[in-house]
Amino acid sequence: MSLSSDHIEKSLSRVRVMFDAVSVYIEAMKPNEKVPATVLAKQMAEQLTEFNMTGPQIYPLIKIVLDGYPGIEVKRGATGGVRKLP
């Protein structure tokens, strides 16, 4: 495997850890429970300290996970957030 392939695999494994953490969080939510995406990103940054990233840095990765995630609704704006569907 080339050095670039090794790097890509290591990076993907880090992203997978983040995606899994978001998934665990969402699965633990109760039906109709809602969390602002920025709060979710902040909580993931606090939980995943090994990545040494802030909520705003993790936010774009979380958006990728949330796009099309089954059983949730994502709305933008002041009353938006990530809501687990009943």
**pLDDT tens string 13-62:** 999 999 999 999 999 999 999 999 999 999 999 999 998 999 999 999 99
User: Cα 39–42–48 angle (5° rounding)?
Assistant: 140
pLDDT at 79 over 90: no
- pTM of the prediction? 0.85
Task: State yes or no: pLDDT of 3 exceeds 80.
Answer: no
Nearest to 84 by CA among 29, 24, 22, 36: 29
Comparing CA positions, the residue from 44, 62, 64 lying closest to residue 54 is: 44
Domain of residue 30 covers 3-84
pLDDT value, residue 1: 63
Higher pLDDT, 1 or 81: 81
Angle among Cα 16, 21, 26 to the nearest 5 degrees reads: 125
- For the chain, the domain total comes to 1
